[in-house]
Structure 1
Amino acid sequence: MSDDNTKAIEARTIKAEKEVKAIEEELDKLIKGDLSYVSDPQLDKLLTENEKLKHRLAILENAIKAESSQIVKREPRKRPMLITNINSIEGTLCLVDELKNIFTIAIEAAYPDLEDPPVVITLSGNNPKFGDYQCNSAMPISQLLKAKNIKTNPREVANNILNRTPPSPLVEKVEVAGAGFLNIYLNRPFAEHVLTCILKYGIKPPPVKRERIVVDFSSPNIAKEMHVGHLRSTIIGESICRLLEFLNHDVLRINHLGDWGTQFGMLIAHLQDQFPDYKTESPPISDLQAFYKESKKRFDEDEEFKKKAYSCVVELQSGNPDFIAAWKLICEVSRKEFQKVYDRLNIRIIDRGESFYQSRMVTIVKELKEKGLLEEDEGRFIMWGSEERTGIPLTIVKSDGGYTYDTSDMATIKQRVQEEKGQRFIYVTDVGQYNHFATIDACARRAGILTGDLKVEHVGFGVVLGEDKKKFKTRSGDTIKLIDLMDEGLKRSLDKLVEKGRDKVLTPEELRKAQEAVAYGCIKYADLSHNRINDYIFSFDKMLDDKGNTAVYLLYALTRIQSIARTAQVSTEQLIQEVEKSGIKLTHEAEWKLGKVLLRFPEVILKVSNDLFLHSLCEYLYEISSTFTEFYDKCYCVEKDKSGNIVKIFYERLMLCEVTARVMTKCFDILGIQTVSKM
């Protein structure tokens, strides 16, 4: 705020204080005056005036508070730092952020009295005559000015902004168009420099403030096989972790395993009956799912076994070493089965079961009781997310004194805030758990665990459907196991590769790598390319289609791009040498169009890191591939004669091919999809 503005606010404040004082004196006269001889009409009039004066007094007092807070709290706006020299750029630059900086300066210079004016930067669309980006701030600013009784129109506002737009090496020109749009045309030398930097230094992440982020995903239950229901959480969670790690965040990948509870009583009891020497000899429990079903059947049908199971739970929770050993054995067998899935899908995750939080649950219950946040309800203790008691409360202690998932989740968030020092907490589960995590957030905030900007972020997803649009299951109605699903993917991907004759041109090792890349890539991409909130239909036929926005098409596209320089017998080292000589040049319109798409990589990454909708990254990957095809159709990279001999190599275009391949490879890496050089 300028000194003149500050003085004006101070003057208005002094004036308001004088008016308040005068009104107080008038009110005092009315209140202290002898009203016994005043007629009813006069009294009504005086009382009405009294109410009006009170109302005016309140308005002025609020005005003083507002103006005073502005004097004390409003700080001068920090002028954004602009890039003034192209050569200062060596890493990845987010174009939208830099354009926002440019137009923030322009708008604040044009309208200094507007507080936090909107700075709206968007892509212009496919028509180059509208520029590459647009600043669409003129219309909302015009509305703000009209609210202040300042006559204007969006086009006049746009011209005022244009006249104060600082020069930038990123921008060739800015033009006012239509009702008040500011069309922004990018500077080609800037784009050429950034793409050349990618060749020289690799793809660097856009700079962000580093955070400690906890991502809770996958989370199967011990003694139960992973099924298709765990597929989405595992795939989405892995990709979110990769994205945040690329941005240099400190990411803690947590597998919140269901490894505690009454079901372990029946499992331990069954283990003791079936394998009495389990303490000295490791029992051959290869099919843990069958073992679980057997114990559950006995639990449901045999009263004596049920009593034994309950006694085993008591022994386990009291820390009996023999029962702890049995529990650990069952957990270890289960974890090994989970790891087979994680290894095949290339998932990295840290197991941390509910058992980890047992002592912490005791502590959180005690703390919540001491703070008076729990109330008794038919023998149980519940906690509301707000004092108004709206929504559904958490059940912190059951009527039998036991704990629940709610207790575990409250202990978990406390541990992640206070011990892990997390700053962002992401939970990847189905959309049905949205209300649960909203309540966890509210209760943790009410308990003082979550403060300020700390919050629980629920990344919800829909269910996987079969081609009949019902829940994806086997013909017998059983849930499909993930291992079986992946085996089927491997079989079908090999069939697809053989159908295309790839087994004739690839070595056995290359064929195996291609088979795995296609099988697991198509499963992941089919999931990630859909808006995660929606249900999606699982169809191997659609996944393995080599046309359209599929993993198969995009993986083929990438290998074709990588093969262009190989066909021309140009090594990466030779390309780097050529880069040092001339750098990338975007002279043809198809080159320029592709270059601009590649420049958008940082803004796409930052968008996805905020909203965690990974289908945006998939759409961008498909856009790169489509734009590259257009470029390749119009621009020779290698010119050959009729005999197939190389006549001329266009090194600058080969450089553009290499940058395209690098950006696509990085996108695939973030999505958790393995790429291959030959397919």
Structure 2
Amino acid sequence: MDLEKLLTDRLAPAFATVAGGPVDPVVRRSPRADFQSDAALALARRLGRPPRDIAAEVRDLAALDDVCTAEVSGPGFLNLTVTDRTLAALVADLAADDRLGVPVTPAPETVVVDYSAPNVAKEMHVGHLRSTVIGDAAVRLLDWLGHRVLRVNHLGDWGTPFGMLIEHLLDLGETEAAQELSMGDLDSFYTAARRKFDADEAFRERSRQRVVALQGGDERTLRLWRLLVAQSERYFLTVYALLDVTLTAADFRGESAYDDRLGPTVEELDRLGLLRTSDGADCVFPPGFTGRDGEPLPLIVRKRDGGYGYPATDLAALRHRTADLGATRLLYVVGLPQRQHFEMVYAVAELAGWLRSPTRAEHVGFGSILGPDGRMLRSRAGGSVKLVGLLEEAVARAVELTRAKNPELDEATITEIGRAVGIGAIKYADLATDRGRDYVLDWERMLSLDGNTAPYLQYAYSRIRSVFRRAGTAARPDAAILLVEPAERALAFELAGFAAVVGQVERTLAFHQLTGYLYRLASTFSAFYERCPVLRASGELRDSRLVLADLTARTLRQGLHLLGIRTPERM
């Protein structure tokens, strides 16, 4: 049960009666009461009546007595205070529900989530972190809600650079190249190939010819290309395992997969009368997009040399996802600098009829990760920070922290906890930030047991589990819920808010709303734990408090799971 929706449903008919038509009651949380409705203020201007009179009439008409008390306040607000009986009944329902009050969606969709997207023969760097973490959280949440979710890892595995890479592979010899690539040193391989390409005209010419052979389907060239792709994919999977995300080998779908769709995609744009030639290239000019000079901005779908770039690939992929996969929601988890590109792709797809309501495409954009100096995070040598190195440092720091705080634990347990805490800290710092903003990578803050961090929430969960280990019993789901102290009521109120937050994040994919809720829940539980003895209570009160504690632990665990963060039983 969503309290906000319950109150909205009770107030809406009363407002409609007073207004003579539908009115949104505009129910929101309030510091003056549990909730507040301010719809009477806007309605007063329409009806020419005092807003306090309207609020009072709505209060008297609405069926609220069994749910809350309602008072007219200020210029015409309705302050709504949920009754303890309603709140206790709601907590009892949540305790008996495996889904914690979050229903499976009544309208499941096929959702394609395009995320991570590293490049073959290049190591993943810190720039891939946010796409991978945010995308995986979207997959977890939408899947839990009952949608058919298709993960797509759109690899950069095609195009001009592969002529250079294959020629370098041949220079090294297949055996030596395979050994170097299997060691995961992809950056060195790519850098050496690039260095030769820039310095050696003969190598450049061989590389160009190799691209022609690749695109022409030459079997030997394709076999060498597959070697590069396979070794890279093995490396990517080791990173995903360390990061603890759900991407698998089955989710890889490279740019090459759309190669045979590029020509037909552009031909259909031509048949639809959307193509225009500009400076020798085939372009579409979607309305509303202009350059700095104010001139219409083109989306180049076929270059003057006849080659295809990212726009053609993205259009072919979108067309495949809607027509062949039946997707009705397309999520592209890509950095904010790509916003205009994707907006233009979506606009062209709409013009072509490949993207029609109710199907929609969304750019799930995000900001950058910054160093302590407020600039883009870089290695000491000035290059991109390798993602594996970042994750290993997080785990190492968390292991040392765990060892220092729990010297009595064995090394295997310390390592397991350290990995959960370190990786959780990295993910949470990312997801707790409004994804449209940049954030600073701050190890001390991220790994702190105080404040809005993963370790704080993980510790809150493990603390509750320790209560039950000491109690030697589980919570009784059928126990009566007694809200005797204000701290108990505050905790019950937070627990009742989980479903509403999950529903909100389903729509917005703003995961900082979920992290904010989990932090409030853990903080509220901490206050409850300090003021309301659990194990020292007796009888029905003890049973009630055990239910509140267990429900808090279950909600923290489920919420963190949706974010891709593990919850150790001990810390």
Task: Provide TM-score, normalisation by structure 2.
Answer: 0.94
Q: Which residue of 155, 179, 182 corresponds with 2:75?
A: 179
Asked whether the equivalents of residues 118 and 141 of structure 1 are also in contact (C-alpha less than 8 Å), the reply is: no
Name the counterpart of 2:111: 213
* CA displacement 1:602-621 (0-9 Å, x = unmatched): 11111111111111111111
| Cα pair distance change 1:589/1:527, threshold 3 Å | same
In structure 2, the residue matched to 1:607 is: 504
1:435 corresponds to: 340
Gaps of 5+ in 1: 1-92, 146-150, 641-645
Contact between 1:124 and 1:132, CA under 8 Å: does it hold in 2?
yes
Q: What residue in structure 1 maps to residue 442 of structure 2?
A: 539
**Aligned to 1:123, which of 29, 50, 59?**
29
Shift of 1:202: 1.8
Identity rate of aligned residues, in percent? 36
What is the aligned partner in structure 2 of residue 191 from structure 1?
87
What is the alpha-carbon distance in structure 2 between the residues aligned to residue 628 and residue 276 of structure 1? 59
Kindly report which structure 2 residues correspond to 1:323-402, keeping only aligned pairs within 5 A, or say none.
323-349=221-247, 350-386=251-287, 392-402=297-307
Per the alignment, residue 519 of structure 1 pairs with: 422
Question: 2:45 corresponds to which residue?
Answer: 143
Partner residue, 1:294:
192
The answer to whether 1:494 aligns with 2:402 is: no
Please say if 1:95 is aligned against 2:3.
Answer: yes
1:142 shift after superposition: 1.6
Match of 1:76 in 2: none
Q: Are 1:263 and 2:171 counterparts?
A: no
Alpha carbons of structure 1 residues 184 and 649: separation in structure 2 relative to 1, 3 Å: closer
Counterpart contact for 1:216–1:253, Cα < 8 Å:
yes
Q: Which amino acid aligns with 2:94?
A: I
Of 317, 321, 337, 1:416 maps to 321
The offset of 1:647, in angstroms, is: 11
Q: Measure how far apart 1:119 and its partner are.
A: 2.6
Measured after TM superposition, the shift of residue 198 of structure 1 is: 2.8
Q: Secondary structure at the match of 1:452?
A: coil
Where 1:214 maps in the other structure, the secondary structure is strand
| Matched ranges for 1:448-527 at <5 A | 448-500=353-405, 502-504=406-408, 506-527=409-430
Which amino acid in structure 1 is aligned with residue 351 of structure 2? R
Residue 39 of structure 1 is matched in structure 2 by: none
**Distance between the aligned counterparts of 2:443 and 2:465, measured in 1?**
27
Residue pair 1:175, 1:183 contacting (<8 A) in 2 also: yes
The number of residues matched between the two structures is: 560
For 1:443 and 1:100, how far apart are their aligned partners in 2? 40
CA offsets 1:461-508 (integer angstroms, 9 cap, x no match):
1111111111111111011101111111121111211222x131x233
Distance 2:435 2:515 in 1: 12
Which amino acid in 1 is paired with 2:167?
A
State the partner residue of 2:131: 233
Q: Distance in 2 between matches of 1:484 and 1:391?
A: 44
Letter of the 1:321 counterpart: E
What's the offset of the Cα at 1:212? Answer: 1.0
**CA–CA distance in 2 between the matches of 1:98 and 1:648?**
28
Q: Which of 115, 120, 140 is the matching residue for 1:222?
A: 120
For 1:590, give the aligned amino acid: A
The CA RMSD over aligned residues, in Å, is: 1.9
Judging changes above 3 Å, is the alpha-carbon distance between structure 1 residues 647 and 443 closer, same or farther for their aligned structure 2 residues?
closer
Deviation at 1:99, TM superposition (A): 2.0
1:653 corresponds in structure 2 to 545
More displaced, 594-603 or 203-212? 203-212
- What corresponds to 1:587 in structure 2? 484
What is the alpha-carbon distance in structure 2 between the residues aligned to residue 393 and residue 586 of structure 1?
A: 63
Is the Cα contact below 8 Å between 2:258 and 2:316 reproduced in 1? yes
> Is structure 2 residue 35 aligned with structure 1 residue 133?
yes
Matching of residue 273 in structure 1 with residue 171 in structure 2: yes
Equivalent residue, structure 1, for 2:527:
630
> Which AA in structure 2 matches 1:140?
A
Change (3 A) 1:532 1:391: farther
Residue pair 1:217, 1:427 contacting (<8 A) in 2 also: yes
Name the SS for the 1:201 alignment partner.
Answer: coil
How far has the Cα of 1:276 moved from its partner? 5.1
Is the 1:438–1:456 contact (alpha carbons within 8 Å) kept by the matching residues of 2? no
Change (3 A) 1:388 1:490: closer
Paired with 1:106 and 1:374, the residues of 2 have a C-alpha distance of 55
User: Are the counterparts in 2 of residues 394 and 439 from structure 1 also a CA contact under 8 Å?
Assistant: yes
Specify the SS of the correspondent of 1:381. strand
CA distance in 2, matches of 1:206, 1:488: 39
Shift of 1:585: 2.2
Alpha-carbon distance in structure 2 between the residues aligned to 1:341 and 1:481: 11
Aligned partners of 1:105 and 1:166 also within 8 Å: no
Structure 1 residue matching 2:205: 3-state secondary structure: helix
TM-aligned CA deviation for residue 649 of structure 1: 7.9
Distance 1:227 1:424 in 2: 28
- Secondary structure of 1:395's counterpart equals strand
Change (3 A) 1:168 1:352: farther
Give the 3 Å change call, closer, same or farther, for CA 408–199 of structure 1 in structure 2: same
Runs of 4+, deviation exceeding 4 Å: 281-284, 387-391, 646-649
Letter in 1 for 2:61: R
Distance 1:226 1:419 in 2: 30
Q: Is the 8 A contact 1:94 1:603 kept in 2?
A: yes
What is the Cα deviation at residue 282 of structure 1? 5.2
Where do 5+ consecutive residues of structure 2 fail to align? none
- In 2, Cα distance between equivalents of 1:242 and 1:136: 36
Q: Normalised by the size of structure 1, how large is the TM-score?
A: 0.80
Instruction: Give runs of aligned pairs for residues 569-580 of structure 1, distance below 5 A.
Output: 569-570=472-473, 572=474, 575-576=475-476, 579-580=477-478
Whichever residue aligns with residue 215 of structure 2, its letter is Q
Distance 1:168 1:452, change over 3 A: farther
Determine if the alignment matches structure 1 residue 163 to structure 2 residue 40.
no
- Mapped to 2, the partners of 1:648 and 1:418 lie a distance apart of 58
